[in-house]
Amino acid sequence: MKIIGVYGEDYPWDVRVEKLLRGCLDAGHQVRLVCRNLERRALVEDVDGIGCHRVLGPDVPGPLNGLLSLPAPANPVWRRAIRRACRDFTPDLLIVRDLPLALLVIQEAERLGVSALVDMAENHPAMWQNVVDSDPIRLRSLLLKNPALARRLERRVAARAAGIFVVVDEMRDHLLELGAPRDRVHIVSNTPPRTTLDHVADPADDSSGTVDLIYVGLVTRNRGLDQVVAALAALPADAPPLRFHVVGAGGHLPRLKALSRELGATDRVVFHGWVDSKEVPSLVAKCHVGVIPHLKTEHTDTTVPNKLFDFMAAGLPVIVSNAVPMQRIVEEQGCGLAFDGEVSTSLPDCLGRMSDPVLRRDMGKRGRRAVSDIYTWERDLDRALEVIGKLGGASAPRPVE
């Protein structure tokens, strides 16, 4: 089968795009990818077997490149690039990552008489609502990431896509409420391959007495890191020693550093800044507890971050916010604790409980077992390939009325 993927950002690299397309290649399918080119690489390039067709060539200047290649539903630059790739490759199936380009890809698939599969890894209307709410200049975000327009687009995509991949049950239920047919929505989560477990070091030694906590990812207001710093500062002087490692960069980092100084928590927070992804596992291996304090919003209630499963695979117990999917997974598997950001004592209580090494080891073992037996990319990929196989042999379905 010939498959064309469409991804609205540069490739390489994105872990989910890579895993899905690599899985298709390994299953014997031929794969091409239409992607952006802000890094101004070659217009056509083979990236480890994935033929990349970029929307613009390397000669287009940076600012103009960014404007012309903005992933948007009616962008003619993307339409032209997709048609060019389809003319050269004659696909049996189109797969588009996320909402912004989904309707455009569905239209092109219908024109060709083939099916379009949408990998909806994020709830874009809810994510864009977070962006607007946190932007001091709301008009700027409303122009580029308007949640009301995204919701209308989401409803149209839910009705017209031949298939939709989502990462959690909660996002599936959201799309069903919008009218998507149940047999077209499939859960393909952000799970790691089992081979990840082969390269994971044993959890950090407990002998030093200090419990090291770690967060990995963007440092933005919605990631909830302020509440971790505040909770550490609120611990009594005789509490077990805790140290919080923040691995990542973002616009909120200066404010977070200032907060740690204001609250007198500088001895309990270590800022690593941006770290190459290849170095992150070694940092995780030196820590005892993974922390994912994302604020509970409509967005976090309908997605799950990769790092939850990464921490579980590393044998770390996790402390998570009560965003619905994370709390459900952690409590079902007994691999961590969930706190309620609206209750001032909830997070400090979780931090205090994690000072128990026996509890940490027990939860860490349960998390690693869950990634080995339940939350595996192999299971998700089998499900994805089954759907891809069916859609690749089918003509474009009729939209839902």
Residue for token pair 């380009």: 101
The pLDDT score that the predictor gives to residue 141 is: 81
pLDDT at 363 (0 to 100): 97
Architecture of domain 194-373: 3-Layer(aba) Sandwich (3.40)
- pLDDT score recorded for residue 398: 63
pLDDT greater than 80 at residue 8: yes
Name every residue whose Cβ is closer than 8 Å to that of residue 359 and which is 6 or more positions away in sequence: 317, 353
Q: What is the pLDDT of residues 103-153, one digit of tens each?
A: 999 999 999 999 999 999 999 999 999 989 888 788 788 888 999 999 999
The residues, any chain, with a CB within 8 Å of residue 126's CB and separated by 6 or more, are 147, 297, 298, 299, 302
Which tokens is 382 given? 């089998």
Q: What is the mean pLDDT of residues 335-363?
A: 95
What would the two tokens of residue 161 be?
């896509």
Opening angle at CA 375, ends 325 and 181, nearest 5:
60
Max CA separation in the chain (angstroms) = 69
Residue 176 has pLDDT above 60, yes or no: yes
Cα separation, 371 vs 191, whole angstroms: 8
Spatial separation of the C-alpha atoms in residues 136 and 259, rounded to whole Å: 19
Decide the pairing of beta strands 269-273 and 336-339.
Answer: unpaired
Reported as a single tens digit per residue, the pLDDT across 77-107 is 999 999 999 999 999 999 999 999 999 999 9
Q: Is the pLDDT of residue 324 over 90?
A: yes
As a whole number of angstroms, the distance between CA 78 and CA 34 comes to 9
268-315 pLDDT tens trace: 999 999 999 889 999 999 999 999 999 999 999 999 999 999 999 999
Residues facing residue 166 across a β-bridge: 187
CA distance 286 to 392: 45
CATH class of 2-191+377-392: alpha beta
The CB-side HSE value for 254 (13 A sphere, CA atoms) comes to 1
- Rounded to two decimals, the pTM is 0.92
CA gap 341, 331 in Å, rounded? 17
- What residue ranges of the chain are covered by domains with CATH 3.40.50.2000? 2-191+377-392, 194-373
- What would the mean pLDDT of 362-375 be, rounded to a whole number? 96
User: Can you give the pLDDT at residue 396?
Assistant: 62
Residue 323 and residue 341: Cα distance in Å, rounded? 10
Helices vs. strands in the chain: H and E counts, helices first:
16, 14
Position 147 scores a pLDDT of: 95
